[in-house]
Structure formats: C-alpha cells, structure tokens
Structure 1
Amino acid sequence: MSEPRVPGTPAEPGMPPVPPTASAGQSLPPDPIASAGATDLTDGQWHRLHPATPLLRGGIVLVAILGFVLANFRERLVDWIFGAPDLPGDPLQTAYERGQLGWAILIVIAGLVVGIVGFYASWRMHTFRVGDDVVEVRSGILFRTHRRARLDRIQGVAISRPIFARLFGAAKLDISVAGQDAKVQLAYLRGSETDRLRHDVLVLASGARAAAAGPDVANAAVATGAAAASVVPGVVPGVVNQRMRELLAPELDPALAPPESVVKIPPGRLILSLVLSGFTVVLVVVAVLIVVMSLLGRREFFIFLILPGILAAIGYYFNRFTKSLRFSIAGTADGVRIGYGLLSTSNDTLPPGRIHAIEVSQPLLWRPAKWWMIRINRAGAAGQSSAQTSTLMLPVGTVDDVRKVLGLLLPGLAGEHTRELLLAGLVAKSGAGFTDAPRRAWPLRPLSWKRTGFAQTDDAILLRSGFVWRHLTVVPLARVQSLRISQGPVQRMLDLVELTVHTVAGPVRATLGVADRAGGTAAFGRWSAEVVEAGATDHSHRWAEGQTS
C-alpha cells in the first residue's frame, strides 16, 4: 500500500497535484488560474479532456445499442428475468404482479452506476501533456496506451467539430506526424482551448522562441476572468448565444489572410460539378444496366440494386455537398489552413514544407466550364478515414482559383514566369516551356502524346499528361523521396523512357509514361543532383526558428 500524500505536495509523475487545504482559522489565497477560467495546456503537465468526452465518444452509441436490444428482445428479457412468458404487457407491470419491482429497479440502477463509473474511470485515465519537444497521450483502463508525437515531425494540426460535439462546445484535435497510423488525437477539448492549443503546438513545432510572460499576460488573464464573470448573471442565455455564434460562424475566419487568398465556391458551381462528376457517369451506366435487366424480366434487381443504389447516391452527394459548401483556404503565419463542412465542421493547418506533391486535374465533363481540382500528397494521411478531405485542397475552381491555391501551397511558384509555365501546363496542347514527348510516342499515347511532357522551376518538377482527364503534377525538389527511369521492350524500340518521381503515399502519382530517351536521361541526372542539394538546404521543419512568437 502506498503512503497517503500530504495536500500541497508535488504529485507523482503523471498525476495531478493534490490541492492544499485550509486549516482551522486560515483561508487559502485565490487560485489565479481558476479565477481566470483558463489553464496553460503546454506547461508540460498532464491534463484531462472535456468532461463530456465519455458521452461524446461512446455514451450515445451505448444508449442506442441498449435501446435497440430492449426494443427487439423485450419479451425474451421478461421471460428470462421474471420467468413469466404467459404474462403479457409492460415489463414493469409484470414485475409488479410478480412482486419483483424492487429487484428490477435495483438492476437498472446497478447498470447505470456501472456505466457511469466505467465512463468516469475512462475519462480520468485519459490524459495528455505537451512539452517543448513532444505531445503525449495516455489512455485505457485495463490495457494502457501511450502515444508520443515529436513536434518537429508534425505534418498538420486539424480541428474537427462534429455536430453533436458542437452542442457541448467541444472539439477534437488531431496532430498528424510522419508515419503510418501515427496520428495523436485529443477527443474532446473545449472549443476555446482547442484553438489556443493548436496555436501553441504550431509555435513549438516552428522553433520560434516564446515571448517572456510579462504584465500584459497577467492583465490578459484578469480581463479573461472579468469577461467570464460578466456573463454569470445570464448563464443560460450566454451559453445559448455562444453556441449559436459557434454554429453560424465560418469555419475559417477570412480575416486570417488577405481577401484575395481565400477561394469562394458558389453553391451553383458546386452542385453542377457533382452532377458532372465521374460518380454520376458510373451511376447512369448502372441505372441503364438495371433498366435493361428489368425489361428482360429480372424484377428482383429493382429491390436489391435500385433502392440501395439510390440511398448510397444520396448519401454521397449530400456528404460531398455539405463538406465543400463552406470550403475555404487561406495562408497564415503557421502555414495553409483549410476549412470545410456545414453541420460537422473541420479545419486543418499544414505547416510549411509538409506538402510532398500537388496534382491539378480536370475531368472531361468539366472542360467546357474550365473547372479544375487540386489534390496533394502529405505524410501520415494515407490510410486514414479522412484522407480524401485532408488531401483535397480545391474541390472545384477556375484557373484563377488554381493560381491562388498553388501560390499558397508553394510560395516559390508565385513568380510571373512560373505562373505562365503553370498556365501552359494546364491548357496548352504542347510546348510553352515543357519538353514534350516526341511524335514516335504516338503508338503508346495516341491521344495525349502532345500533352505529355515535363518542365522544371527553381524549386519544383512539373509533369503534364492526359487528354481525357488532364493532369498537371508539381513535386517540390526538397520533398522528392527518390527518382526512377525505366525502359520496357516497346519503349526501347521507340527510343523512349518512363520517368517516375517518388513521394509519400497519397492520391497523386508523379509518373510520366513516355519521354524522349536522351532528354529524359539528361533530366534524370539533373534532377538527381538538385534533389540532394534541395534536401540539404531545406529547413522547413523548423520554419520559424530563431524568431520570437
């Protein structure tokens, strides 16, 4: 057995300190942290999550399962508990007639107590702390889990607010680091704490020196406490107003960046882009197939394919529409911030140097409207359930939107010459600064050989390809993992090669299927030397080192 701890003494490692108690005739000084209504979450100490975390993470699911079981197995439960299958009616009436109502109430109360104690223990054992170099999370009751994330390996910090969590003023913080399934998740925190913690984590990851706390910090804490106290007389109206402001506020504040750096997607464009998507084409083909099968007398296809297909299509369109309706992207001091979502919202901050590849693509049905889509490769996003949204930088946009977004993702592409080169990579059929595939590549690329080529800027490799589905891939030199040049038997006959630029796993594949052998070999040698040089001089993992936050 451990000895009792004296109040006011330091706690054991990983445990919160015991607050001091007042003896007879003495009074304790007011706690400045408690009076200010805020705590420093990056002080290196262990902290707990939002008190509603057990309910938000599993309580609702447990209640739903319990309700389903009671609704579907009601008579069997009555038979098993009371041994009275011949007594119809409500279980409480059955218990009353058998004289077992007290036992039934005790069973219900015991179940509730066990559930509450389990949730409370789970919340108590789930703690986190943020130090100068790492973020740590410990969780679990019987099976303990301890996750650590190095701050200099952070690939992005995302804040998501599911619709039910928003009612409690809670939010989830995801810290993505390099590696498969290496994400550290804090679910859930108070909304104001989440935004402040995201800022502090990015400041620590950037290498910036923290400014010394002076009188201004204390005055700010006092002002915060006074502001919190001013709403005490109207607690309920104040909470309701605050929740309404949070629900109606934009996920990404346009004031964080100049107005010209924020892309706006009109609802009409978004709806039409979904209608003209590849999913719609597949849906039409499946519908035609089902109609043909129905005309041939296979009526069962209507029940087993039409109804599930309609429900799946509605869910797909609704999910894509609600996630992209309030889409916004802007540049901040800590990197690019992307926000999206209507009911359940999310915003993600990508620090500088965390984008490994960029792809600008245009489906055939979007070509008359001159719309484009932008996706990226980022470390740690592959295999995650949110990979599609975390790698989508522009759901649908014009050429001007593409220029703005590319300027945010890679500031080195903002030069006049580079902008012209990018525009040529999007719309030009051949030439315009690109080294195109020769005419003898026609047998392998009968439609797109004129649009297949490569180019290079001071800090990136550009690959252009595609006729039906146009692609422009941009890979920063400092983010290249490896290079490959290959030649199959048919390519050897045509004096062609294939070039591949390897990056982290993701939706973007930086491959050029055909290129002239002499030009491709020269580019491979040049890129190999410049990639090594760019990697040696890259310091984007500590993008603000030496500065003062």
Structure 2
Amino acid sequence: MTDATPASPPTPPPAAEVRSPLSDGEWHRMHPLTPLFRGGLVLVIVAGVIIANLRDRLIAIFLPWLAPGFEGESIPGDPVDYVVSHNLILVATLVVLAVVIVLVGLFYLGWRFHSFRITDDDVEVRSGVVFRSHRRAPLDRVQGVNLTRPTVARLFGLAKLEVVGAGLDANVKLEYLSTANAEAIRGDILRLASGRQLGERGEAQRRATASETVSAGITGLIAGAEAPIAEPESVVSIPVGRLVASQTLSGTTIFLVAAIAAIVTGAVTTTGWVLFAVVPAVLGFGAYWIRSITRSLRYSIAPTPSGVRITYGLLTTITEIIPPGRIHAVEVTQPLMWRPFGWWAIRINRLSGRSMSDGANDQFGTVLPVGNRADVERVLRLILPTIDQDDWPMIVDNGALGPVADDPYTTTPRRARLLRPLSWRRNGYWLGTDALFLRRGRIWRTLAVVPLARMQSLEVSQGPLDRALRVANIRAHTVIGRVSGSLGILDRDDALRLFDDGERAAIGAVATDRSHRWAGEE
C-alpha cells in the first residue's frame, strides 16, 4: 500500500521561454513619448522660426553688451513690438495657445493610432490617422532584429526596434519603446523565429520612476548599450588607436588628401570653379571619415542562443542580432596599406530590408571593421558555424594568406596569365564541404566564402577572348551586397567541373539545412 501524494502543480516553462507582457498577441501602443521624438523635427523648426524672429530682442535681453544702444526702444521688424503697438496681445496669446493645442492633439492622435502586436506568426504595426498603414513581418522570414538607441532617446531610456524582413523595404519598426521592453520583445521575436513556442504571459515588469529612467539613460550614454543577463563578452576588442590608424590608411583618406591638395592649388591659382566643385565633396568625405570612426567605437561581437550579437556606435548605439542561416556570403579583405600591420576587415551579404543606396546598409554589412588574424578567426567561427573543421585551413592559411606550397586552390592557367599579370597564381577557387571559397587579388587581397546552403545559383560565362584562350568566368549568385561572388579567368574545364560539382553540393546542403528554424523540430 502506498501513501497518496497530492498532485504537484504544473511545471512553469523555462524563464527563457516565458512570454513578455507585450508579446501576448494583443494590440499595444508605443511609449507615450514616441510622438515627441518622432515629431521632434517639427518642434525644432518652430523653435528656430521663433528664435529667428526674436533674435534682436533676445540678444538685447540676455546679451546686452552686444546691443549697447537698446534700452527698451522698439526694434524694427520685431514681432513683439508689432503686437504691443497694435494692441494684439490677447489675439497673439490665443494663436499661440491654439498652435500648442493643435500640436498636442496631433501628437496624441499619432500615438493613439500607432500600435503593434506580436503573435506566434507575425509582427504587425498599424499607424496613421488619415492615411492608414498596416505592416506585417512573418516571423519565419525574420533576417535579424536591430535595437537602436539615439542619443537623446537614451536619456529617457527609450529605444527603437527594427525587425528586418526578407524583401526590399520589408522592415517593420517599433519606435519608440522603453529599452527594457525592447530587449524583452526582441528576445520573444527571435525565440519565435527559431521555431520555439513561448509560454504564457509572465508578470509585468516593474515600472521605473521618471528619475530612475533618466538616470539609467545617462549611465547608458557613458557605458554603452546594456547587455542581457549572462551575455558573453565580446570575442574581439578593437583599440581606438588601431581604428583611427586603419581609417587613416584607407582609400578615403587618400581621396581627402588629394582633394585638399586640389583645393590649395585652386586657391593659389584663383580658379574659382575648382573650389566650388571640390569643397562640398571634401566636406562630405570628411564627415564620412569621422563617422566611420565614431560608429565603430564601442564595437563588440558575441555569440548568443539566438545568433550573433553585434553592437557599435559612440552616441547612437545600434545592437543587432543576426540569427543563424541569415548570412549569405562572407568576405575577408586586406588593403595594401594594412598588410604591414596584419589587419583585415570582414564584410557580409545579408538581407537588410534596405536599398543599396541607404547609407546604413554599409554599416550593417561590416561585422569586423579592422582586426588581426586572431580576431578574424574568432569572428569567422561565429558567423560561419557550419564550416567543417577540416576546411578551416582553406580560409586563412591557404585562402586569405595564400597561395602556399602545394596550393589546393584551382587557379588561373599559365596561358592566361596576361589577363591577370599580378594575381594569376592567387586567383582561384576551392569547393569545400559546406562552402565555396573564392580567392582574388594580390595587391588588394580578398577571400569570399559562399555557404552552399545560401547560394542561389552558379553561372559560367565566356567572352570572345575567353573562348580563344579556353578560359571562363564563374559567378556564385547570392543576395545583393558588398561581397562579390565573381571569379574570372579560370580554365574552361575547371569552370565546368565547378558548375557540376557546385550544383550537386548546393542541392545536398539545402536538403540538410535547418538553420532557418534553428530551435524548431527537425
């Protein structure tokens, strides 16, 4: 006989799988301060107009030493004097009050009709009062989730979340949310995109007071984006000196120096059209040069259960998580002036939901701004986790640094070396178990790695000269990005062999790939 035991309560889902309060499938509104930050430009313009019209009076009041002759007399063109002299004080007050009421009403309506919801299948956002908009991002097509914290918004503990879709202009933005809510929602979206189901809604998070929120925002402005609990540290640390030096030794700097020399020459020879044409370009490239440094400060990259987490930015901090299987091509590159220092950069092709003309696309395509060989290997192991261990020497030793003795890469034949006079021994490919490796360039070294499961197609082409020399060109097609899948001047038979072998390998890789639902059922 056994003693009866009371039924044990059901086991709650693991903490990582508990649904946050804002991911319960119901419609929720953005943070109440959202209209202020989304419509902040309007307020800045209005304030600028007011200050411009009152500048003389404001200078006389606050900086009297700059207007010594003003002792209360009227200022020509001053709107305050006009209102007082025409006894329109009441009318002006009512107009200002009406403008304030209209702005507050518009901001309220914008916030009232701006809502979102997260279901088990989609992220949806509705906005607009007169012209309504309803955007939806299927979770099984999510390419990444970016969390951006602009400088001013960070002071108030706010952030905006961008769910990266699989098409052009397919991104869904949630702006603005408290940083804690944005982190929680991002975790929910990535867990649902992985194929994992969430538990029931958990307890609502404790609301911080306004003073605590501002204090936390100021702390975050200094210390950077906060990391989730137990978040691993960055596998790469880039010294500021290396970052500045790498930018100084880049092609952008060479262009700036040449442009400045042109400006000086134009000033000496009094050629006005040179100054008119070059100065705006120099200012633009100078701003780009500085921005390239500041946006790479506080860079970090680390593995998480939901993918690779990349954080960068000095004032405006951007944290993106790239889920497994969302990287379509990788390129390791080394400019000539970086070679004495052993520095490399890593770029990727991924679906960003943005057009190629979008300036932010460049930043989203760079996963390592500058690093040494050890940094390159650490980052590559994060973003290419499926590469077979036996294939790793083909990336750095034989690929980026090659060719070496007994080179395993298939390269340009000797008879066509005039078409690649400097790089014909280096120009080549190697088909691995999980990826296609394309090695190019001797002055500007590059190695492109195209995962076979992500390759869209393979192309072989010939021109008239190619046919005469019995060579061909190959191109591995991936999503559009900064990484090129092209390789030219290969032996025709080698190119055709790669076409057949690559096709079979890609079909096999796609059949076994499960990275798009990395935590779901097989």
**TM-score normalized by structure 2?**
0.87
Letter aligned with residue 378 of structure 2: K
Query: Could you say which residue in structure 2 is the equivalent of 1:450?
Result: 425
Task: Output one character per residue of 1:510-530: Cα deviation in whole Å (capped at 9) or x when no partner.
Answer: 100111111111111010112
Query: Could you say which residue in structure 1 is the equivalent of 2:350?
Result: 378
Query: Is contact 1:173–1:194 with CA below 8 Å preserved after alignment?
Result: yes
Query: Could you say which residue in structure 2 is the equivalent of 1:104?
Result: 92
Structure 1 residue 342 and structure 2 residue 314: aligned? yes
How is 1:8-87 mapped onto 2 (pairs within 5 angstroms)? 40-58=21-39, 60-72=40-52
Q: How far 1:98 moved relative to its partner?
A: 1.2
Query: Could you say which residue in structure 2 is the equivalent of 1:265?
Result: 238
Structure 1 residue 465 and structure 2 residue 440: aligned? yes
Mapped partners of 2:493, 2:226: distance in 1: 48
Q: How far 1:205 moved relative to its partner?
A: 0.7
Mapped partners of 1:127, 1:240: distance in 2: 24
Query: Could you say which residue in structure 2 is the equivalent of 1:205?
Result: 193
CA-atom RMSD, angstroms?
2.4
Query: Is contact 1:252–1:328 with CA below 8 Å preserved after alignment?
Result: no
Q: How far 1:316 moved relative to its partner?
A: 1.8
Alpha-carbon spacing, 1:382–1:521, altered in 2? closer, same or farther (3 Å): farther
Mapped partners of 1:466, 1:541: distance in 2: 33
Task: Output one character per residue of 1:461-519: Cα deviation in whole Å (capped at 9) or x when no partner.
Answer: 00000122111000000101111001111111111110000001111111001111111
Residue aligned with 1:418, SS? helix
Mapped partners of 1:389, 1:397: distance in 2: 16
Query: Could you say which residue in structure 1 is the equivalent of 2:59?
Result: none
Task: Output one character per residue of 1:362-417: Cα deviation in whole Å (capped at 9) or x when no partner.
Answer: 11111111111111111234514421111110000111111111100011236154
Task: Output one character per residue of 1:23-54: Cα deviation in whole Å (capped at 9) or x when no partner.
Answer: xxxxxxxxxxxxxxx97111110000011111
Query: Is contact 1:88–1:94 with CA below 8 Å preserved after alignment?
Result: no
Instruction: Select 2:332's aligned residue among 348, 360, 381.
Output: 360
Of residues 390-399 and 534-543 in structure 1, the stretch that sits farther from structure 2 once superposed is: 534-543
Mapped partners of 1:118, 1:347: distance in 2: 31
Letter aligned with residue 338 of structure 2: W
Structure 1 residue 505 and structure 2 residue 480: aligned? yes
Q: How far 1:436 moved relative to its partner?
A: 1.2
Instruction: Select 2:136's aligned residue among 136, 145, 148.
Output: 148
Residue aligned with 1:367, SS? helix
**TM-score normalized by structure 1?**
0.83
Instruction: Select 1:281's aligned residue among 248, 254, 268.
Output: 254
Q: How far 1:306 moved relative to its partner?
A: 6.3
Query: Is contact 2:471–2:489 with CA below 8 Å preserved after alignment?
Result: yes
Query: Is contact 1:172–1:186 with CA below 8 Å preserved after alignment?
Result: yes
Query: Is contact 2:330–2:448 with CA below 8 Å preserved after alignment?
Result: yes
Q: How far 1:256 moved relative to its partner?
A: 5.1
Query: Is contact 1:382–1:506 with CA below 8 Å preserved after alignment?
Result: no
Instruction: Select 2:83's aligned residue among 95, 98, 107.
Output: 95
Query: Could you say which residue in structure 1 is the equivalent of 2:495?
Result: 520
Unaligned runs of 5+ in 1: 1-37, 76-85
Query: Could you say which residue in structure 2 is the equivalent of 1:331?
Result: 303
Letter aligned with residue 46 of structure 2: L
How is 1:203-282 mapped onto 2 (pairs within 5 angstroms)? 203-211=191-199, 225=206, 236=211, 238-251=212-225, 253=227, 259=233, 262-282=235-255
Alpha-carbon spacing, 1:117–1:339, altered in 2? closer, same or farther (3 Å): same
Percent identity of the aligned residues? 43
Query: Is contact 1:135–1:149 with CA below 8 Å preserved after alignment?
Result: yes
Mapped partners of 2:143, 2:511: distance in 1: 19
Alpha-carbon spacing, 1:506–1:331, altered in 2? closer, same or farther (3 Å): same
Residue aligned with 2:487, SS? strand
Residue aligned with 2:237, SS? coil
Query: Could you say which residue in structure 2 is the equivalent of 1:296?
Result: 269
Mapped partners of 2:75, 2:493: distance in 1: 90
Q: How far 1:257 moved relative to its partner?
A: 5.6
Residue aligned with 1:128, SS? strand
Letter aligned with residue 44 of structure 1: G
Query: Could you say which residue in structure 2 is the equivalent of 1:351?
Result: 323
Residue aligned with 2:419, SS? coil
Letter aligned with residue 323 of structure 1: R
Of residues 306-315 and 116-125 in structure 1, the stretch that sits farther from structure 2 once superposed is: 306-315
Instruction: Select 2:120's aligned residue among 123, 129, 132.
Output: 132
Task: Output one character per residue of 1:424-454: Cα deviation in whole Å (capped at 9) or x when no partner.
Answer: 1111135532111111221211111111000
Mapped partners of 2:227, 2:304: distance in 1: 11
Query: Could you say which residue in structure 1 is the equivalent of 2:58?
Result: none
Query: Is contact 1:158–1:349 with CA below 8 Å preserved after alignment?
Result: yes
Aligned residues: 483
Residue aligned with 2:255, SS? helix
